[in-house]
Structure 1
Amino acid sequence: MDDQRYAAYKDMLISVADVVDQDVTVLNTMKFKCDRIIKGRERDQIKSAIQLWTALEKREYLGLSKTDFLKELLKSCMRGQVEALNMVENYERLNGDLPGSFNGQAIPAQVNCPGNPQIIYIGQKDSSRQFPQQGREVLGPDLKKEIAFLSKSLGRNWTFFMRELGLPDIEIEAIMSDYKYTKEQAYQCLLLWQDIQKQEATKQRLVNALRTVNRNDLADTLEEGTY
C-alpha cells in the first residue's frame, strides 16, 4: 500500500467527517440510508461520521479507490452543501481516480512535451473569479504534485505565501469565504494563482516565495523533489 496515498485517504475521511458531524441530522440520515448495509444494533451504536466510515470500510463500501458510495451519501444527505463532496473529489483527483471533470473545476490533461511538461486546463468553476472558462485552453507547467504538497504543508500562515506569490487579497478572501478548511483554501488559491500566471507559474517561483516568507524547509523539499 502506498503510505502517502493512505495518509491522504485518511486525512480526507477525517476532514469530511468534521463537516458531517456539524449536523447530527445529516449523520442520522446517512445511517438510515445505510440500513441495508449496517444492521440494527451496530448501526444504532454509530455516533460519529468516522464510526460510520469504519463500518463501511469493513463491508468494502469504502476504501482507497472506493469512494463512489461516500459521494452518493454526501450528495443525497448534505442538502446542497458541496464542501465535503469537494474534499472527496480533491482526493480522487490528486490520487488519479477521477478521469473526468472535478466538480466543475479545471482538470489537468497531460500534454506530451519532452523537457517541458505542461498541462491544459479545460473546464470552468462556478465562480466569478478567474478560473478557466469552458472551451478555453490555458497552458502552464505541470505543478500538480507541488500544489498538493504545499496545500497540505503550508499550515495556517499560507496567506502570507499566497500574497508573496502575488495573488490579490480580494481573491484570497473570496476563497476563504467559500471554503472552511485551511488545506482546501490553500489548494484553491494555488490553483487560481496557477491559472492567472499560466506559463509564469513555475516551481522556481514557488521556491522563491517560500524562501521569502522563511519557509526554507518547504523550499528545500521542493528543490530536492522529496515530496
Structure 2
Amino acid sequence: MDPFLSLLHSFSLSLSDNELSSLKFLCRGKIGKRKLESVRSGGELFSILLEQQLIASDKVSFLEELLENIKREDLVSQLKQFVEEGEVNAPDDQPDVHEKRLLKAAIEVICENVGREWKMLMRKLGISEVKMDRIVAANPFNLQEQVVQSLREWQKWKGKDAKVTDLIKALRGCNMNLVADRVEQKLNTGTT
C-alpha cells in the first residue's frame, strides 16, 4: 500500500466537517466550484488534489499550507515526519548507516540533557526562529518533543552533511560542555 495514500486517508478521517469546509474554501482558486460542491470527505478532496497534481508524495508544500491554514499543527507535524523519515527524501541525500546510528545516539543524549536551552543550540545549528516557533506551536507543552522535532528538522535540512561532530561543536559553542561530554561518552561506549 502506498504510504502517502495511507497518510492522506488518516488525515481524511481526522477532519471535522468545519475543517473540510475550510479546506474546500481554500482550494477555490485551484479547483472548480462544481467539483468542490460534490466533495463530501477529505479523501475525495485529496483525490482531486492528487489528480490535478497539486499534491504528491514528493510535493507536499500545498498540502502543508492547507493544514497550517486550518490550524491543524498535529497533521502538519505528521506530514513533516512522513517527509523526514525518508518516504520522500532520496536515499543519496541521507547520512550513511554508521553516521545515522551515531546521530540517533547523539540526539537521544541531547534530548535527555539539553532542556530549556534547546533554542540556543538550534540557533547555533542554523535552524530559523520561524521553524522553532512552528515546532513549539505543534508541541506547546512537551519540551522533549520540541527538542526532538527541532533536531529532526536540522537533520533533514543537512541531509548527508548531518554529522555528530557538528552537534558536539554546537553544544560546546553554547557552553553545554557536560552534554557534549555525555554525547562523546555515549558514542565511545557502545554505539560505534
What is the TM-score with the length of structure 2 in the denominator? 0.51
Aligned match for 2:143, one of 110, 122, 128 = 128
Cα–Cα, structure 1 residues 112 and 41, in superposed 2: closer, same or farther, change >3 Å?
closer
Equivalence for 2:41: 48
Aligned match for 2:13, one of 18, 23, 35 = 18
Cα–Cα, structure 1 residues 201 and 11, in superposed 2: closer, same or farther, change >3 Å?
farther
Equivalence for 1:38: 31
Shift of 1:110: 3.3
SS in 1 for 2:8: helix
SS in 2 for 1:85: helix
Higher helix share goes to which structure?
2
Cα–Cα, structure 1 residues 40 and 24, in superposed 2: closer, same or farther, change >3 Å?
same
Cα–Cα, structure 1 residues 96 and 34, in superposed 2: closer, same or farther, change >3 Å?
same
SS in 1 for 2:143: coil
Are 1:91 and 2:82 an aligned pair? yes
Shift of 1:130: 7.4
Cα–Cα, structure 1 residues 112 and 64, in superposed 2: closer, same or farther, change >3 Å?
closer
Higher strand share goes to which structure?
1
Question: Which residue identity does 1:93 align to in structure 2?
Answer: E
Identity of matched residues, %:
16
Matches within 5 A, 1:117-196: 117-119=101-103, 121=107, 123=122, 126=136, 127-129=142-144, 132=147
Contact 1:92–1:98 (CA under 8 A) maintained in structure 2: yes
Cα-Cα RMSD = 3.8
Shift of 1:59: 0.7
SS in 2 for 1:118: helix
Equivalence for 1:7: 2
**Higher RCO, 1 or 2 (CA under 8 Å, sep at least 6)?**
2
Equivalence for 2:57: 64
Cα–Cα, structure 1 residues 41 and 129, in superposed 2: closer, same or farther, change >3 Å?
same
Question: Which residue identity does 2:17 align to in structure 1?
Answer: V
What is the TM-score with the length of structure 1 in the denominator? 0.44
SS in 1 for 2:29: coil
Count of residue pairs brought into register by the alignment: 123
Cα–Cα, structure 1 residues 201 and 13, in superposed 2: closer, same or farther, change >3 Å?
farther
Cα–Cα, structure 1 residues 111 and 82, in superposed 2: closer, same or farther, change >3 Å?
same
Cα–Cα, structure 1 residues 95 and 130, in superposed 2: closer, same or farther, change >3 Å?
closer
How far apart in 2 are the matches of 1:57 and 1:38? 12
Cα–Cα, structure 1 residues 13 and 134, in superposed 2: closer, same or farther, change >3 Å?
closer
Question: Which residue identity does 2:4 align to in structure 1?
Answer: Y
How far apart in 2 are the matches of 1:132 and 1:26? 29
Shift of 1:52: 0.4
Contact 2:55–2:62 (CA under 8 A) maintained in structure 1: yes
Equivalence for 1:224: none
How far apart in 2 are the matches of 1:40 and 1:94? 36
Give structure 1 stretches of 5+ with no counterpart. Answer: 1-5, 100-108, 137-194, 203-227
SS in 2 for 1:110: coil
